[in-house]
Chain A
Amino acid sequence: MELRGTANIDDPDGFYEELIDSQRNMSDEEAALMNCKLVLILANHIGDRTVLREALRRAGGQTR
Chain B
Amino acid sequence: MLKTYTYPRFDYAPSAEQRSGVVRRHPVVIVGAGPIGLTAALDCAARGLPAVLLDDNDTVSIGSRAVCYAKRPLEIWDRLGCADRMVKKGVSWKVGKVFFRDRLSYQFDLLPETGHKMPAMINLQQYYLEEYMIDQVLRQERIELRWKQKVISLRQEADHVVLTVETPDGVFAIEADWVIACDGANSDVRKMVGGEFTGHFFQDRFLIADVVMKADYPTERWFWFDPPFHPGQSALLHRQADDVWRIDFQLGREADATEEKKPERIIPRVRAMLGDDREFELEWASVYQFACRRIDNFRYGRVLFAGDAAHQVSPFGARGANTGVQDIDNLTWKLKLVMDGAAPLALLDTYDEERAFAADDNLMNSTRSTDFISPKSKASRRYRDAVLELAEDNAFARPLVNSGRLSKPTPYVRSSLNTPDEESFSGRTRLGANCDDAPIARDGAEGWLLNALGEGFTVLTFGAAPAREVTSGRIRAAVLAVGDDLMDRKGALAERYDGRPGTTYLIRPDQHVAARWRSFDTAKIERALARAVRA
A residues engaging B (CB < 8 A)? Answer: 32-33, 36-37, 39-41, 44
Q: Which residue of B lies closest to A38 (CB)?
A: B386
Q: Secondary structure at chain A's binding surface: helix, strand, loop or mixed?
A: helix
The 4 A-B residue pairs whose C-beta atoms are closest, nearest first, are A36-B386, A44-B396, A37-B386, A36-B383
A33 with B382: CB separation less than 8 A: yes
- Tell me whether B22 is interfacial, beta carbon within 8 Å: no
B397 to chain A, nearest CB (A): 6
B397 with A40: CB separation less than 8 A: yes
Give Cα distance in the complex from A32 to B386, angstroms: 10
**B396 neighbours in A (Cβ, 8 Å):** 41, 44
- Tell me whether B389 is interfacial, beta carbon within 8 Å: yes
Residue of B382, B390, B400 near A32 (CB, 8 A) is B382
Excluding A33-B386, A39-B383, A40-B397, 6 further A-B contacts by CB distance (< 8 Å) are: A33-B382, A37-B390, A40-B383, A40-B387, A41-B390, A41-B396
- Known A40-B390, A41-B390; judge A33-B385 contact (CB<8 A): yes
Q: Which residue of A lies closest to B387 (CB)?
A: A40
Give Cα distance in the complex from A44 to B389, angstroms: 15
Give Cα distance in the complex from A32 to B380, angstroms: 11
A44 to chain B, nearest CB (A): 5
Give Cα distance in the complex from A39 to B400, angstroms: 13
Q: Secondary structure at chain B's binding surface: helix, strand, loop or mixed?
A: helix
Give Cα distance in the complex from A40 to B399, angstroms: 12
A32 to chain B, nearest CB (A): 6
A26 to chain B, nearest CB (A): 13
Q: Mind listing 17 A-B residue pairs with CB under 8 Å? A: A32-B382, A33-B385, A36-B382, A36-B385, A37-B386, A37-B389, A37-B390, A39-B383, A40-B383, A40-B386, A40-B390, A40-B397, A40-B400, A41-B390, A41-B396, A44-B396, A44-B397
Give Cα distance in the complex from A37 to B382, angstroms: 9
Give Cα distance in the complex from A44 to B382, angstroms: 17
Give Cα distance in the complex from A10 to B394, angstroms: 27
A62 to chain B, nearest CB (A): 13
B396 to chain A, nearest CB (A): 5
**A39 neighbours in B (Cβ, 8 Å):** 383
**B386 neighbours in A (Cβ, 8 Å):** 33, 36-37, 40
Give Cα distance in the complex from A4 to B389, angstroms: 29
Give Cα distance in the complex from A32 to B389, angstroms: 14
> Please, what's the 1-or-0 string for B408-438, where 1 marks a CB less than 8 Å from any CB in chain A?
0000000000000000000000000000000
Give Cα distance in the complex from A21 to B394, angstroms: 24
Q: Which residue of B lies closest to A36 (CB)?
A: B386
Give Cα distance in the complex from A44 to B395, angstroms: 11
Q: Among residues 361 to 391 in chain B, which have CB atoms less than 8 Å away from a CB atom of chain A?
A: 382-383, 385-387, 389-390
Q: Which residue of B lies closest to A34 (CB)?
A: B386
**B385 neighbours in A (Cβ, 8 Å):** 33, 36
Give Cα distance in the complex from A39 to B390, angstroms: 12
**A33 neighbours in B (Cβ, 8 Å):** 382, 385-386, 389
B351 to chain A, nearest CB (A): 30
Q: Which residue of A lies closest to B400 (CB)?
A: A40
Give Cα distance in the complex from A5 to B383, angstroms: 26
**B389 neighbours in A (Cβ, 8 Å):** 33, 37
**A36 neighbours in B (Cβ, 8 Å):** 382-383, 385-386
Give Cα distance in the complex from A36 to B386, angstroms: 6
Give Cα distance in the complex from A37 to B400, angstroms: 12
Q: Which residue of A lies closest to B389 (CB)?
A: A37
**A37 neighbours in B (Cβ, 8 Å):** 386, 389-390
* Most B-side CB within 10 Å, residue of A32, A33, A36, A41: A36
Give Cα distance in the complex from A33 to B383, angstroms: 7
Give Cα distance in the complex from A40 to B394, angstroms: 11
A16 to chain B, nearest CB (A): 22
Q: Which residue of A lies closest to B396 (CB)?
A: A44
B390 to chain A, nearest CB (A): 6
B225 to chain A, nearest CB (A): 14
**B394 neighbours in A (Cβ, 8 Å):** 41
* Most A-side CB within 10 Å, residue of B382, B383, B386: B386
Give Cα distance in the complex from A32 to B385, angstroms: 11
Give Cα distance in the complex from A44 to B387, angstroms: 12
Q: Which residue of A lies closest to B394 (CB)?
A: A41
B372 to chain A, nearest CB (A): 13
> Please, what's the 1-or-0 string for B489-520, where 1 marks a CB less than 8 Å from any CB in chain A?
00000000000000000000000000000000
